[in-house]
Structure 1
Amino acid sequence: MPALTLETSAGQLAALHDAPTGPHPGAGPRGAVVCHPHPLHGGTKENKVVHSLAKAFAAAGLHVLRFDFRGAGGSEGSHDEGVGERDDVRAAMDACHELAGGSLLLAGFSFGSWVGLDTGLEDRRVEGLLAVAPPVNYYDYTAVARSSLPLAVVYALEDELVPADQVQAWLASCARSPRITPVSGCGHLFHGRLGLVRGAAAGLAAALAS
C-alpha cells in the first residue's frame, strides 16, 4: 500500500492508500476515507479496526485513504480537540477523491467517527457514512442524526466506554433509519469480533451500489 503525504494547516500528515482488491460494482462511491480513534489514546491509521475497515472497503472495489490526524503517528502538528482535525479530514477527502475519481464514503472509529462524519456532512462528494463505536456520550452527533445520508452504525453491546443504551437512544433519534450492527461479546475495541465490523463495511458499500 503506497504511503502518501497530505498538506494541511498543521503541516504534513502521513497517509496510506489501500488500492481496490476486488471489482467495483459500477455504481456507488469510488473511494472511502477512514478516520482513526483518539490520538491522545494511541489512535493511528494502523489501528486494527481502521485496518479492518480499509481492507473491507478495498475488497468492495473502493480506493481507501486512511491517515494519521495531526500530532498522531507519523503526522506533524499537535492535537487540536477536533477543530483542526476537520481540516485533516478535508485534506483526506480531497486526496481520496483524486485517487478514486468519484464520490466517497466516510467512515470512522470512535473519535474518528465524530470528527470524520461531522466534517463529511459538509461535502457533496460524500454519499454514505459509517460510524463504529460512536462516542455519543462524549461528543455531539446531532448533525449526523439529522442527516439524510445513508448511515451505518456498529456498536458493542458491552462497550466499557460508550454505554450501549446511549447509542441506542441516539440511533432512535436519527432522521433516516441507519443500518445497525449491534455486536455482543466484546468491548470498545471489538476483540474477536472484527469480522462483524468488516461485514458492516461491506454491507454499506454494497447497499450504496444498488
Structure 2
Amino acid sequence: MRKIKTTLDNNGLLLEACLDMPDISGGPCPGVVLCHPDPRYGGDMSNNIIMAVSWALTEKGIAGMRYNSRGVGRSQGFFGGGVPEQDDARSALSFLVQQEEIDSDRVGIMGYSFGGKIALPVGGGSDAIKAIAGVSPVIPPGVLTDCVKPKLIICGSEDDVVSPNLVLQEAAKMSEPKTVEVIPGVDHFWWGCEEKIAVLVAEFFVNALG
C-alpha cells in the first residue's frame, strides 16, 4: 500500500488527508472515501476500522481515501455536528475523482459510526458515488429511501452505542439493492474483528465497483 499524504481545500478550510493506493498497477483503479467516527470520542482517519478497511481495499486493488474532518488532527475548523462535515466528505470525493490513478466511474463511500451520518447522505446525493456502505452507522432518518445504488449496512449484535434495532429499522426503509447484516457477538468497536469487517466491506465494493 502506497500512502499519498495530501491537504484538501474545502472552500478555504484545509483538511488533512491520505490516499492509500494499491501496490498493483495496470490502469486506473476504483476508490472509496472513508468517513471516520465521532471526533469527540477520538475518531479520526487513523481509527482501527478505517485503517483496516483501507488496507483491505488496497489488497483488492481499490484505493482508500482517508481524511480528517474539520477540527480533527491537523484539519482546520471546528466540529459541526454532522451536516457541515458532509462538505468535508465532498472535498475528499472531489480530490479522489481528480486523480489520474483513479477510475472516476468506479467510486464508493463508507462511513463508520458517526461517519455513517456523513457517508450515507453524501453517497445518496452524489452522482459520482456508485456504492455506499455503513458500518455500525448512525443513520439519518429516511436517508437512501429512493437510492437505487448498491448498499451495505452492517453492525454488531452487541452494539450498545448505536442500537442494532434502530439500524435495522432505518435500513428497512432503504431502497433495493441492499445488503443488511448483523454480526453475532460483536460490539460497536469491533475489537478483534477488524479484519472480518474489513474483508466484508472490501468484498462489497469489489462486487459493486468491479
Q: With structure 1 as the length reference, what TM-score do the two structures score? A: 0.89
CA deviations 1:168-192 (Å, max 9, x no partner) are 2222222214223322222111011
- Which ranges of structure 1 fall in alignment gaps of 5 or more residues? none
CA deviation after TM superposition for structure 1 residue 83, in Å: 2.4
Q: Is the 8 A contact 2:149 2:177 kept in 1?
A: no
CA deviation after TM superposition for structure 1 residue 201, in Å: 1.4
Q: Is the 8 A contact 2:131 2:208 kept in 1?
A: yes
Q: Is the 8 A contact 2:34 2:111 kept in 1?
A: yes
Q: Is the 8 A contact 2:144 2:175 kept in 1?
A: no
In structure 2, give the amino acid aligned to 1:121: G
Higher strand share: 2
In structure 1, give the amino acid aligned to 2:168: Q
Runs (4+) off by over 6 Å: none
Q: Equivalent of 1:128, from 109, 131, 137?
A: 131
Q: Is the 8 A contact 1:183 1:196 kept in 2?
A: no
CA deviations 1:103-128 (Å, max 9, x no partner) are 31101101111112211222111110
Which range moved further: 161-170 or 178-187? 178-187
- Which ranges of structure 2 fall in alignment gaps of 5 or more residues? none
Identity across the alignment (%): 24
> 2:61 matched to which residue of 1?
61
Measure, in 2, the Cα distance between the counterparts of 1:156 and 1:93. 28
In structure 2, give the amino acid aligned to 1:4: T
> 1:111 matched to which residue of 2?
114
> 2:94 matched to which residue of 1?
94
After superposition, the Cα gap between the structure-2 partners of 1:124 and 1:78, relative to the gap in structure 1 and judged at 3 Å, is same
Structure-to-structure mapping, 1:162-177, within 5 angstroms: 162-177=162-177
CA deviations 1:60-107 (Å, max 9, x no partner) are 212221000000112111011112212111110011111213231101
What is the RMSD computed on CA atoms of the aligned residues?
A: 2.0
Measure, in 2, the Cα distance between the counterparts of 1:117 and 1:129. 7
Measure, in 2, the Cα distance between the counterparts of 1:141 and 1:128. 19
Measure, in 1, the Cα distance between the counterparts of 2:146 and 2:85. 22
Q: With structure 2 as the length reference, what TM-score do the two structures score? A: 0.89
> 2:73 matched to which residue of 1?
73
Q: Is the 8 A contact 1:152 1:200 kept in 2?
A: no
CA deviation after TM superposition for structure 1 residue 13, in Å: 0.3
Alignment length (residue pairs): 205
